[in-house]
Structure 1
Amino acid sequence: MKSTESILNDDHFKLLAFLITSARGCVGEPPLYGPLRLVDAAARLVEIMKKEGKAIPEIIELQKLIEEKKDLVMYDEEEFIKFLDDLSKKLAEIIKKQ
């Protein structure tokens, strides 16, 4: 990439910017917003993986689960934590299969 304009359109750079600004945002936010931002970043990473042809169906399913359940943090913290546990288990299953 040669120009600043092209870097701003790069999906990797967009994720980097999201992570850095999220880190700063977490300083003053409620504690569970950190995990919310991390799973949001995970979903964004899966999107990049899809574009690059690197996302297997099981990973795409993780992304769908994140999109469906990440808002739980706003109204049911206990269920949000259970969702994070479930997401971690599903990731472990993917790892075991490889």
Structure 2
Amino acid sequence: MNNPEFELLVYLITSARALPEEPASYGSIRLTEAASRLCRIICNNDPDNKTYCELLNCIEADKGKALTEPERFSAMLEKASEILVDCL
């Protein structure tokens, strides 16, 4: 299946279903992955939108650090929040 919007929807629903049985920290990980996927969809649909592509790069750089380097993961989320303001 090559429908990124539907794949994101499936990811969100299955993540919500699994979350009650998972450690609390997984919530941030799953939400960050969903944000990354949504940014990728936006960037693929509008490659000239540099702000969303910057946001995607920011998230991708450190999204895997939540469990191994939580401070770095938190800093990435802070930076992503700042970039997100520029998307308004």
Question: Normalising to structure 1: TM-score of the pair?
Answer: 0.76
Q: Greater Rg, structure 1 or structure 2?
A: 1
Equivalent in the alignment of 1:80: 73
User: What do residues 47-82 of structure 1 show as CA deviations (whole Å, max 9, x unaligned)?
Assistant: 222232276111101111111101111212232222
Structure 1 runs of 4+ aligned residues shifted over 4 Å read none
Among all aligned residue pairs of Structure 1 and Structure 2, give the percentage whose two residues are the same amino acid: 35
Q: Residues 24, 55 of structure 1: CA spacing in aligned structure 2 closer, same or farther, 3 A cutoff?
A: farther
Give the residue type in structure 1 aligned to 2:86: E
In structure 1, stretches of 5+ residues that fail to align are 1-7
In structure 2, stretches of 5+ residues that fail to align are none
RMSD of aligned alpha carbons:
1.8
Distance 1:20 1:38 in 2: 11
